[in-house]
Structure 1
Amino acid sequence: MTPWQSTMTGKTFKFVPVTIPSNLSAQTAYTSVSARRTLEQPNAIPPTPQPAKKVAWPAPVREYVQRSFAPEARIPGIEVAEMEIKLKTVITEAAESERMTEIDWSTLPLPQQLIQQERAMASTWTSQGPVWDLPDTNDFMPMKKRKIEDNYVTLAEATSSGSPPWRKNEKNNGHADRITQSKGQASKAEKRARKQQEALGKGSSKFQQQVEQRKRRFGYDQNDDSPPPWPAARDASPINDEPIGPIVGTCQKLEKNYFRLVNHPKPEEIRPQPVLEQTLLLLKEKWRAERNYQYICDQFKSMRQDLTVQHIKNGFTIEVYELHARIALEWKDLGEYNQCQTQLRALYSLNLGGHPAEFLAYRILYFIHTCNRTGLNDVLADLTLELKQQNPLRHALAMRSALASGNYHKFFQLYLEVPNMGAYLVDQFLTRERIAALANICKAYIPKVSIKFLTEELGFESYMEAHDFLAQQLEGTSAEDAINADEFVLETRKAAPVFEAAKARAFATVDIKGQI
Structure 2
Amino acid sequence: MFNAMASPWAIPPPPGTQGQYGYQQSVPAYHPVQVRQTFNQQPLSYAPMTTQQAPQAPQPAAEAPSQRKKIEWPQPVRNYVQRSFDPSNLIADIPRPEMEARLKQTISAATDSNSLHTIDWDNLPLPQVMIQQERAQNALLWRQESVDLHLAGSGSVNSARDMTSRKRKSQDVGRDEDSSSTPPWRTTNNRNGFEDRVTFQATNERLDRRQQPSSPDDSPQRNISKFQKNLEKRQRRFDGGYKSSYQASASPEPTSGPVVGTCQNLEKKYFRLTSAPIPSQVRPEPILRQTLELLKKKWKKEGNYSYICDQFKSMRQDLTVQRIKNEFTVTVYEIHARIALEKGDLGEYNQCQTQLRALYAQNLGGNPVEFKAYRILYFIHTCNRTALNDVMADLTPAEKEEKAIKHALDVRSSLALGNYHRFFRLYLDTPNMGAYLMDMFIVRERLAALSNICKAYKPDVKLRFITEELGFESDGDAAQFIFDHNGQDLLVEQSDELRLLTGKAGSIFDSAKKDAFSTVDIKGQI
Distance 2:503 2:377 in 1: 33
In 1: Cα distance, 2:436 partner to 2:324 partner: 30
Counterpart contact for 1:123–1:240, Cα < 8 Å: no
Match of 1:115 in 2: 237
1:308-323 pair list within 5 angstroms: 308-323=320-335
Distance, in Å, in 2 between the alignment partners of 1:247 and 1:68 is: 28
**So what's the TM-score if we normalise by structure 2?**
0.56
Cα distance, 1:453 vs. partner?
A: 0.6
Q: Counterpart of 1:348?
A: 360
- Give the superposition deviation at 1:124: 7.8
- Identify the residue that residue 498 of structure 2 maps to in structure 1: 488
Q: Distance in 2 between the 1:483 and 1:273 partners? A: 60
SS at match of 2:461: strand
Note if contact 2:347-2:523 (Cα within 8 Å) is conserved in structure 1.
Answer: yes
One-letter amino acid matched to 1:455 = T
Q: Does 1:441 find its partner at 2:453? A: yes
Offset, 1:239? 6.2
CA distance in 2, matches of 1:434, 1:339: 29
- 1:336 counterpart = 2:348: yes
Alignment of 1:54-65 (within 5 A): 59-60=187-188
Decide whether the 8 Å contact of 1:369 with 1:428 is kept in 2. Answer: yes
- Residue matched to 1:510: 520
Residues 149-228 of structure 1 aligned to structure 2 (within 5 Å): none
Instruction: Summarize the Cα distance change of 1:403–1:445 in structure 2 as closer, same or farther, 3 Å threshold.
Output: same
Change (3 A) 1:347 1:98: farther
Contact 2:187 2:361 in 1 (8 A): no
Shift of 1:241: 6.0
**Are residue 497 (structure 1) and residue 507 (structure 2) matched?**
yes
**Residues 87, 59 of structure 1: alpha-carbon distance in 2 compared, 3 angstrom cutoff:** closer
In the superposition, relative to structure 1, how do residues 514 and 239 fare at CA in structure 2: closer, same or farther (>3 Å)? farther
2:366 aligns to what SS in structure 1? coil
Cα distance in structure 2, aligned partners of 1:411 and 1:262: 48
User: Any conservation in 1 of the 2:264–2:287 contact (CA below 8 Å)?
Assistant: yes
Q: State how far apart, in whole Å, the 2-side matches of 1:256 and 1:113 are.
A: 33
- In 2, Cα distance between the equivalents of 1:122 and 1:329? 41
- Per the alignment, residue 458 of structure 1 pairs with 470
Q: Separation in 1 of the partners of 2:382 and 2:255? A: 41
Q: Which runs of 5+ in 2 are unaligned?
A: 1-185, 215-219, 221-230
CA distance in 2: counterparts of 1:64 and 1:347, whole angstroms:
20
Q: Is the 8 A contact 1:68 1:112 kept in 2?
A: no
- The RMSD of aligned alpha carbons is 3.2
Give 1:432's match in structure 2, choosing from 444, 447, 458.
444
Q: CA deviation at 1:485?
A: 3.1
| Distance change (3 Å), C-alpha of 1:88 and 1:379 | closer
Q: Distance in 2 between matches of 1:462 and 1:89?
A: 52
CA–CA distance in structure 1, aligned partners of residues 284 and 192 of structure 2? 26
CA distance in 2, matches of 1:431, 1:365: 15
> Where do residues 256-405 of structure 1 align in structure 2 (5 Å cutoff)?
256-405=268-417
Q: Distance in 1 between matches of 2:423 and 2:306?
A: 34
Letter in 2 for 1:366: Y
User: What residue is the counterpart of 1:78 in the other structure?
Assistant: none
Letter paired with 1:482: L
Identity of aligned residues (%): 55
Inter-partner Cα distance in structure 2 for 1:245 and 1:469 = 58
Unaligned runs of 5+ in 1: 1-57, 74-82, 101-108, 128-236
Alpha-carbon offset, residue 95 of structure 1 = 3.4
State the shift of 1:246 in Å: 2.2
Identify the range of structure 1 (244-253 vs 466-475) with the bigger mean alpha-carbon deviation.
244-253
Is 1:255 aligned to residue 255 of structure 2? Answer: no
